[in-house]
Amino acid sequence: MINLFKKKVVVRFPPSPTGPFHVGSARTALFNFLFTRKNGGKCLLRIEDTDKERSKSEFEKNILDSLNWLGLKFDGDILKSSERTEVYKNNLKILLEKNKAYISKEEEGANKEVVRFRNPGGNIIFQDLIRGEVAMDVGKLGDFIIARNINEPLYHLAVVSDDIDTGITHIIRGEDLISSTPRQILLIEALGGKRPIYAHLPLLLDEDRSKLSKRKQGEAVSLDFYRKQGYLPEALVNFLALLGWNPGDEREIFSMEELIKEFSLEKVQKSGAIFDIKKLDWMNGEYIRKKSLEELVELAKPFVKDFFQFLIFNFQFSNILKLEQPRLKKFSELPEKIEFFFKTPEYGKDLLSWKGMSDEEIKNYLEISKEIAKSAEDFTKENLEKIFMKKAEEAGDRGKLLWPLRVALSGRKASPGPFDIMAILGKEESLERIKIAVEKLM
RNA sequence: GGCCCUAUCGUCUAGCCUGGUCUAGGACACAAGCUUUUCAAGCUUGGUACCCGGGUUCAAAUCCCGGUGGGGCCA
């Protein structure tokens, strides 16, 4: 699809730095980004920090970091609304002069005055790229307030002033803002601006179908949470893109380039989407499996800081990661999964039992394992497998030999196979762990 | 409460515009089986959905109307 729109596309993403960057915002940013990359326009970033009380520079930094981490690049300078008060005040003055707004005295509070917009009433109909025609009787809104006083313009006036000044052609935002659209259109037109084309995205929802909120989900609504949990940005981007959008075929895995190639607002869903972390886990696993070992090592390092001192000297780290790569969903799981490679595992002797084997039987098999391991010349996975499997076959049920061995080595119900583990631990440590297991059965 | 948006498996969705090929497809999750012990990964198989009612039509998941459910915004 070539650019459908005669005018060059300009969109904006205007987060408020009043809290940690939200995944819902991330998705809105992503859709804006995809839309402009696809249509060859500009995607502007605006920091909407008009609320001086709640806006904090740390949050602003968090927004920038997060967008950067996701790989979303914006065009041009960042606009900060806190630096544009004069512009808003000027627009307020214009509206007042044109008699499109007036100062009104509030009943309550002695000399409280606000500025209200003179609502012309009537029906506002606007085209929404996702929802089609949306109509609203704006008369019902009354003369809404646009400034707290002559020096303090409020949100809608600020947004509209910025949109006009930056030549925004398309506004792509969450559905929660759909009902403020008519009043913004009123303001744009009162200021002589041209109304942009709108696209209201379906909301991201909790399991109970309400808007994803910090109150209910806590940490899990902030992008940092996913970063800290060890999700890959490309997995998150892929997942977020598929929440409310779908190219119409059966593919699930998309790189950013593929998303840009396929994206279109016409294919965006109308109803809200539940954020299902299980699917994200699966997708992240898919991306982890695609990584090269070198990349994996680098990505994993921050998550295994506790072992880090040791790892610098341990050339086996990448071997261990290779074993965990197929079963890893996110990096935060790593320490717990690989701990046993670095320290003697703790476990109860019951874990050593395979299908109701007696202690005596387990002990016998562990002794056999010990002998085999002791006699092994070549302590590689391949050789160990060869010599152990021969003996395991003799047992009839291979698990009789292999299960106690694996538990002795790992101390875990689930782990990589015993030969993989032994090859990494080495002969001495492997024998030591088998010895400890035997002692547990005494 | 008012206004607005919305409705396909538990979840994300394809299909709806241009009605028949839909005994509704895919993915996640779940279950079973296979895969040289466990857990993964992989492969195979399975169950589960067109919100309800009416209308239009030879024919409706698809078009129209009315309910109901869900959500958002404002109060």
pLDDT (tens digit, 9 = 90+) per residue, A349-373? 899 988 888 899 999 999 999 999 9
Output b/e per residue, A105-132; b: 16+ Cβ within 10 A.
eeeeeeeeebbbbbbeeeebebebbbbe
Integer distance in angstroms from CA A204 to C1' B51?
A: 22
Burial class (CB in 10 A: 0-12, 13-18, 19+), A336: exposed
Give the model's pLDDT for residue A3: 45
Nucleotides of B under 7 A from a protein CB: 2-8, 10-15, 25-29, 36-42, 70-74
Residues 325-384 of chain A with CB under 7 A from strand B are 326-327, 354
Residues contacting A192, CB < 8 A, separation 6+ = none
The answer to whether strand B lies under 7 Å from the CB of residue A123 is no
Q: Which of residues 131-160 of A touch strand B (CB under 7 A)?
A: 131-132, 134-137, 140
Picking from A392, A306, A407, the residue whose alpha carbon sits closest to that of residue A352 is A407
Residue A346 CB-density burial (10 A; 0-12 exposed, 13-18 middle, 19+ buried):
exposed
DSSP A122: S
Q: At what angle do helices A427-440 and A359-375 cross, to 10 degrees?
A: 160
Q: How confident is the model at residue A20 (pLDDT cuts 50, 70, 90)?
A: very high
Chain A window 284-313, residues with Cβ within 7 A of nucleic strand B: 285-286, 289
* Lookup: nucleotide whose C1' is closest to A401 CA: B37
Report if CB A419 to strand B is under 7 Å. Answer: yes
Give me the phi and psi of A331, to 5 degrees please.
-65, -25
Average pLDDT score, chain A: 91
List the beta bridge partners of residue A124: A136
The pair phi, psi for residue A364, each rounded to 5°, is -60, -45
d(C-alpha A234, C-alpha A284), whole Å: 8
CA distance A420 to A316: 12
What percentage of residues in chain A have a pLDDT greater than 90? 79
Q: Tell me the nt nearest to A414, Cα to C1'.
A: B39
> Could you list the active site residues of A?
214
- The predicted pLDDT at position A305 comes to 79
pTM greater than the 0.90 cutoff = yes
| Model pLDDT for residues A123-152, shown as the tens digit of each residue | 999 999 999 989 999 998 999 999 999 999
Res. A30: pLDDT tops 90? yes
Question: What integer pLDDT is reported at residue A106 of this predicted model?
Answer: 75
